Amino acid sequence: MSLSDWLKQNLTNSWMTAGDFKGNAAHCLGGYATMMTVGFLTKSQTLRLALYVTFILYTLIKEFWYDPRYEVPPQPFAGSLNDFKWYHVGSLVAVLVFEFL
């Protein structure tokens, strides 16, 4: 098998069109954008921490209370956990970027 054939077979972009990728990317970017905005708008470490804790509480309520009750179709626990995780992957990256770069 040639390298060209192997690349065509194995390096497809099907992962980018999967629904999970789009949803995970959206939640990650939402968390990132939220925390970068907080970082740019506030200079106080205490206020940043308070807003981060507020963001955590918001995502807990949204993902584990609101979505299972009001999202159509109702989202299972695993879906809520996945969304919650990706919100905080993005927010953690934003905090690390803002604080250390």
- Tell me the average pLDDT across 8-36: 80
Q: Is the pLDDT of residue 59 over 90?
A: yes
In a domain, 36, yes or no: no
In the chain, what percentage of residues exceed pLDDT 90?
53
In a domain, 80, yes or no: yes
What does the pLDDT read at residue 45?
87
Q: Which two tokens stand for residue 61?
A: 């309520």
Q: Please state at what angle helix 45-61 crosses helix 19-41, rounded to 10 degrees.
A: 150
Q: Average model confidence (pLDDT) for the chain?
A: 87
Find the domain containing 92 and state its range. 43-101
pTM: 0.78
- Amino acid, res. 46: T
Q: Which two tokens stand for residue 98?
A: 């803002």
Q: Which two tokens stand for residue 29?
A: 């970017």
- Tell me the average pLDDT across 35-57: 91
Q: Provide the number of structural domains found in the chain.
A: 1
* Cβ-Cβ contacts under 8 Å for 82 (sequence gap 6 or more): 20, 23, 24
Digit-coded pLDDT (tens) for 71-93: 888 889 999 999 999 999 999 99
Contact 35, 55 (CB under 8 A): yes
Confidence band for 17, pLDDT divided at 50, 70 and 90? low
In a domain, 12, yes or no: no
In a domain, 75, yes or no: yes
Long-range contacts of 38-45 (CB under 8 A, 24+ apart): 39/94, 39/95, 39/98, 39/99, 40/98
Q: Is the pLDDT of residue 16 over 70?
A: no
